[in-house]
Amino acid sequence: MSPIAERQLYIYNSSSGLKEIFNPINNNKVGMYVCGPTVYNYVHLGNCRTFISFDIIYRYLTHIGYKVRYVRNITDAGHLENDASEGEDRIAKKARIEEIEPMEVVQKYTVDFHRTLAKFNTMPPSIEPTATGHIVEQIELVKQILDAGFAYEVEGSVYFDVLKFNESSKYGKLSGRKLEDMIHNTRETSGQSEKRNPQDFALWKKAQPEHIMRWPSHWGDGFPGWHLECTAMSTKYLGKKFDIHGGGIDLKFPHHECEIAQNEAIFNCCPANYWVHTNMLTLNGKKMAKSTGNNILPEEIFSGENEIMERPFSPIVTRFFMLQAHYRSVLDFSNDAMLASEKGFSKLMHGLSVLESLDTSKETIGFDVAKWKQKCYDAMNDDFNTPILIANLFDAVKFVQNINDGRSSVTKEDLDEIRLTLHNFVHDVLGLKQEEQKVDHYLENSINLLIELRNDARIRKDFATSDKIRDELAKSGILLQDSAQETTYKLKK
């Protein structure tokens, strides 16, 4: 049974500023494009939050029956330092500093990106194209924009003519900015002299003699502008108009605004029906920034090698932390927040483990399973509201604990429905999984001491003490295993 026809999904559209009913272009098929990383450095935690958020969206759309083509690009060329038209290519700059080839930079940080997202248990996209793999398509788009009269060439570089475009359309419609205000607030800066207007952005940049990354074109050797690659790859794999375009809120302007302008100049339509933006991640109440030292990398969280967290936290606990805030809300990362998330995650996983050993009864008391299940779907159908969903999941965990403690009861049919629904949302939609439990050195010594005390009690035939040690350890999830030679233990999953 496909839930698509039974439940209405609402998505907040950044373009309208409203939650809108989701109606895909092609029935049960969804095209989703998400702006990926610029691979010139280790992926930072804010980027990870964005990709985890879209992983949830991808998972949920798939869960409710849509066939999703999820395209997420890799920017491996063309991203200039000021995100617009000037400065040095970030990857080329890194290659120059490290004295290696640009593609060595790309390979190093692409591998880090994939490895990190795998630790967070994100699903790979359907297609992951690269900017350098689509130079031909980008050159063709530049030609089409020139032919449409919305671009001009200056000494080997090609710029999009924002003022010309604004005569027939509206530049700034996504971000709510007015071109008149942008012009009024613009100061002339060096490097803008060859552009007709400061708001114009590069479609193709002439490569200077020292520039490493360069390709031949009709206008001479050069490289594409950053905004162009997403138009080239989204239209190639999803068509000139598709369902969802996503990214971090920092991409709304100028990147996504420029994408819209390029698409309208060529195809006379906005590329996406729904624009979805994730909000920022702060650290201890302040903006994350390497320059101020208020920054932490995912691997530093996992290893504990940082001066912010009191100890390491696992990737799955970190993922769970991120899901406890709505993707459009600012989320503050802190030691206390992570400790609370770890506690909540353990409670959720313990509830799932208890679920497997419950006894059933002739009636369900104290819990409306059908109503609870609908509330779970209602949360996700309300713009993918993961914090409300998690609160609903904990309602079920509380009920499970009540059954286990003998304060409530459940029928076999309802228990099977709870099991299936929890599995669907915890594992398939939220992407959470039970982690391999590890025992630290101090806890291991304590367990071994208790095993020795129990063995002494058994030798003395003090079976009351022996059984008490075994049973109390079992309550804590530590299961003793006796053999003829020794007593060992394992952790209950």
Is the Cβ–Cβ distance between 333 and 321 less than 8 Å?
Answer: yes
Instruction: Determine whether 302 is exposed, middle or buried from the number of CB atoms within 10 Å of its CB (0-12, 13-18, 19+).
Output: middle
Q: Is it true that 3-278 and 282-429 share their CATH fold? A: no
Residue 254, preceding peptide bond in cis (omega within 30° of 0): yes
Q: Where are the domains of the chain?
A: 3-278, 282-429, 441-491
Rounded CA separation 333/290 (Å): 15
pLDDT band for position 440 (cuts 50, 70, 90): low
Mean pLDDT, the chain, integer = 92
Q: SS3 of 56, please?
A: helix
pLDDT digits (tens, 9 = 90+) for 338-390: 999 999 999 999 999 999 899 999 999 999 999 999 999 999 999 999 999 99
Tokens of residue 108, six digits? 């190093």
What's the full length of the chain, in residues?
493
Structure confidence at residue 5 as a pLDDT band (50, 70, 90):
very low
Q: What 3-state class would DSSP assign to 207?
A: coil
359-365 contacts at long range (C-beta below 8 A, 24 or more positions apart): 359/403, 360/409, 360/410, 360/411, 360/412, 360/415, 361/409, 361/410, 361/411, 362/409, 362/411, 363/409, 363/411, 364/409, 364/410, 364/411, 364/414, 365/408, 365/409, 365/410
CATH architecture of 3-278: 3-Layer(aba) Sandwich (3.40)
The residue among 213, 231, 233 whose CA lies nearest residue 222 is 213
Q: For residues 143, 147, 149 and 153, what is the CA-based torsion angle, rounded to 10 degrees?
A: 40
pLDDT at 446: 86
Residue recorded with tokens 């159908």: 381
User: φ, ψ for residue 388 (rounded to 5)?
Assistant: -70, -40
Q: 282-429: which CATH number, 2.60.40, 1.10.3470, 1.10.10, 1.10.730?
A: 1.10.730
C-beta separation of 316 from 117 below 8 A: no
pLDDT for the residue 474: 83
Q: Which residues are 30's β-sheet partners?
A: 68
The runs of H, that is alpha helices, within 324-411 are 335-355, 369-381, 386-404
85 in Cβ contact with 186 (< 8 Å): no
pLDDT one-digit tens code per residue, 9-34: 999 999 999 999 999 999 999 999 99
SS3 242: strand
**Does residue 28 contact residue 65 with C-beta atoms inside 8 Å?**
yes
- Laid out side by side, the sheet with 151-154 consists of 151-154, 157-160, 201-206, 222-224
Q: 452-461 pLDDT, tens per residue?
A: 899 888 889 8
Of 403, 380, 399, nearest in space to 390 by CA: 380
Specify the DSSP class assigned to residue 488: E
Question: Using CA atoms in the order 362, 366, 371, 373, what is the torsion angle rounded to 10 degrees?
Answer: -80
Q: Residue 348: which residues within 8 A CB-CB, separation 6 or more? A: 320, 390, 393, 394, 397, 426, 432
Q: With 0.75 as the threshold, say if the pTM is over it.
A: yes
pLDDT tens digits, one per residue of 254-279? 999 999 999 999 999 999 999 999 99
Give the pLDDT confidence score for residue 85 in this predicted structure: 56
